[in-house]
């Protein structure tokens, strides 16, 4: 009889326990949401020179870190470290250890970023060479004839006058004599290898699309802020005159 009463009591209490557990889970979820909200950084008003300089330094440092491949850094940990130094707190990593770790991280980050850039450029070239009208030379240079001329073919020792527009594979224009409204003159051997090769295949009056692999362009160095390392370059080139 006692066993029956105990079982009956347990059965009756189960819905209440389930309800209580459900309510507890809801409260935990609510608390976690509130904690996450409290952790969110508050917006800052740049009301004086110190705040502006501080924010500006953050912009410069973060931009530099991201450009070097450090886009996976933990911003919270970075902020804690800065605060610990400024508040003279005991550091979790001493400077010598921190230097070693950071160097290793940044080296790996740069290698990972460059690997992605190389792969992306190669994918573009592999797909592009299958398109109608695109020809590939022994060096890997790709070109497509847009308009054919009948004039002279320049030699490596010649100067040429050209109009051009240079783009990255995503369509970003990094240089254009067309936009400036003024053609440029230079020596055939004074430019990147992809240009030097292509110009000696062209006739005066030709307009070509050039697809230049990174090894015939700016390679691992890139060029300035606009052309990243290992970038495939896309040029529309019009050979106006062989001088």
Residues taking part in catalysis: 164, 174-175, 192, 218, 235
Identify the three-state secondary structure at position 121. Answer: helix
Nearest to 148 by CA among 242, 239, 233, 241: 239
DSSP β-ladder status, 134-136 and 142-147: antiparallel
Strands (E), 73-231: 134-136, 142-147, 159-168, 173-176, 184-187, 207-212
Identify the three-state secondary structure at position 143. Answer: strand
Element containing residue 237 per DSSP (H, E): strand 233-242
């Amino acid at each position: 009889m006692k066993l029956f009463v105990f079982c009956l009591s347990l059965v009756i209490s189960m819905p209440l326990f389930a309800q209580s557990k459900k309510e507890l889970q809801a409260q935990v979820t609510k608390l976690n949401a509130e904690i996450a909200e409290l952790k969110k950084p508050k917006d800052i008003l740049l009301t004086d020179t110190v705040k502006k300089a501080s924010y500006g330094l953050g912009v410069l440092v973060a931009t530099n870190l991201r450009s070097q491949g450090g886009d996976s850094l933990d911003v919270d940990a970075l902020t804690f470290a800065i605060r610990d130094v400024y508040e003279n707190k005991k550091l979790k990593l001493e400077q010598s250890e921190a230097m070693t770790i950071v160097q290793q991280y940044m080296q790996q980050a740069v290698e990972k970023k460059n690997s992605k850039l190389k792969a992306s450029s190669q994918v573009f070239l592999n797909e592009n060479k299958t398109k109608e009208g695109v020809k590939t030379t022994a060096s890997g240079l790709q070109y497509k004839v847009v308009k054919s001329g009948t004039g002279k073919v320049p030699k490596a020792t010649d100067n040429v006058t050209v109009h051009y527009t240079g783009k990255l594979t995503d369509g970003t224009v990094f240089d254009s004599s067309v936009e400036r409204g003024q053609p440029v003159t230079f020596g055939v051997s004074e430019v990147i290898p992809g240009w030097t090769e292509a110009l000696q295949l062209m006739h005066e009056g030709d307009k070509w699309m050039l697809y230049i692999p990174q090894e015939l362009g700016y390679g691992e160095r890139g060029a300035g802020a606009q052309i990243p390392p290992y970038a495939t370059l896309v040029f529309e080139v019009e050979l106006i005159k062989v001088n």
